[in-house]
Amino acid sequence: MRQISFLLSLATTVSAFLGAAPFAPAAETAKTYKVFIFAGQSNAQGKINKATLDAQVQDPKTRDLYKHLRKDGQWLVRDDVFATYQNNRTGPLTLGFGSSGRTGSELEFGWMMGEHFEEPVVIVKTCQGGISLYQGFRPPSAGMPSEEKLQAQLAAAQARAKSRKQPAPTLEEIKRQYGEWYRLIFSDLRALSDNWGRTLPPLKEGDGQYYNIKARNWEKDYPALAGRKPELAGVVWFQGWNDQYGGAELEYESNLKRFITDLRKDLGTPNLPFVIVAMGQNGSKPAAGAMLTIRDAQMAMNDVSEFKDNVRAFRSDLLVDKDAERLHAERQKNPEWKTYGSDDAYHYYGSAIWYMRIGHAAGEAMLDLLKKQGR
């Protein structure tokens, strides 16, 4: 299936920044399929309600935004792009690879990758609400926080456990939470295939509490992948909210730089394209406080010399769905709200338009980085 028209409009400044000019599809490299990692927290999961999508495809004002995703009144299912969410929801790309059966930016992003590559594409989503870069995705080179911070965290966790009449956690259990989601990225990749040709970092004992890691043989399960080996093609990082607390925002820039560097080193891919969706839940309002600090840290990756032409950050607030933003304030009394959103600002109002614009911008950024690498 090779059909798509990219109809989601982006702000002019963002389109210019991302370099939207298309380029010719890469020639097929036999015996591989392209793998993209989608990592972060709840917004990487995705919060688009299907009811919102179904309403918008009926609305003359919005239905053309989705016509490349539909045929004969049905949502299309790709036969050349696949997705896995937390290693338990897998299959051909269509709706439903977000949290609780919802959909995220992977839909538009994956569609664009499928249109670009002759090879099949797989999107591996390692993401969960409430996971910070400071702790859950903490890169190995960042080391552990100070003993003082760990002891304070332990005391707080033990107090919570006592109030809930639960077993008290140990210091080792607290320490294991640091970098757990970083390690889960590799576990999801190992579960995808055993044909990586390299050794990936292992889980630690007790890791994987959020979901069970179950090995699958995708090359056997899906005929489009048969006889092919996985090839890492890029990373989309969509995260930031939980680093606004406890001073974690002050370490975000150094932690993100380490995260990119460490992940590439552990994957054996020193120039792996890396796209960063910078925080934008402020929408039309100016960002402030910790959110602004984190957004600035994310955008600062564009200025790191060793990341030139292989890392791209863009501002998601410039893509705001102003209708969802406006209607959210009236959501208790205006039935039109359900056509545009289903959530609060921290989840981009659950706006299908906003998430799809983000997916499209991430796709444009990724294709531009791949073009610079001749891919």
Identify residue 29 by its one-letter amino acid code.
T
Contacts of range 333-338, beta carbons closer than 8 Å, 24 or more positions apart? 338/51, 338/52, 338/55
Does residue 283 form part of some domain? yes
Q: Which domain holds residue 149?
A: 144-177
Q: In this structure, is residue 199 part of a structural domain?
A: yes
**Model pTM?**
0.89
- Tens of pLDDT along the chain (375 residues) come to 544 333 343 333 333 333 333 323 344 445 899 999 999 999 999 999 999 999 999 999 999 999 999 999 999 999 999 999 887 788 999 999 999 889 999 999 999 999 999 999 999 999 999 999 999 999 999 999 999 999 999 999 999 999 999 999 999 999 999 999 999 999 889 888 877 877 777 777 767 666 656 666 787 889 999 999 999 999 999 999 999 999 999 999 999 999 999 999 999 999 999 999 999 999 999 999 999 999 999 999 999 999 999 999 999 999 999 999 999 999 989 999 999 999 999 999 999 999 999 999 999 999 999 999 988
Q: Whose CA is closest to 354, among 46, 18, 110? A: 46
Q: Within this chain, do residues 188 and 301 fall inside the same structural domain, yes or no?
A: yes
Distance CA 115, CA 274 (A): 20
How many angstroms separate the CA atoms of 281 and 292, rounded? 10
Structure token digits, residue 357: 């614009």
Residue 4 included in any domain: no
Give the CA distances from residue 171 to residues 131, 154, 163, 342, in Å, rounded to whole numbers and listed in that order: 19, 6, 18, 39
Q: Are residues 265 and 362 in the same domain?
A: yes
Q: How many structural domains comprise the chain?
A: 2
Q: Does residue 128 sit in helix, strand or coil?
A: coil
CA dihedral 111, 20, 128, 254 (to 10 degrees): 150
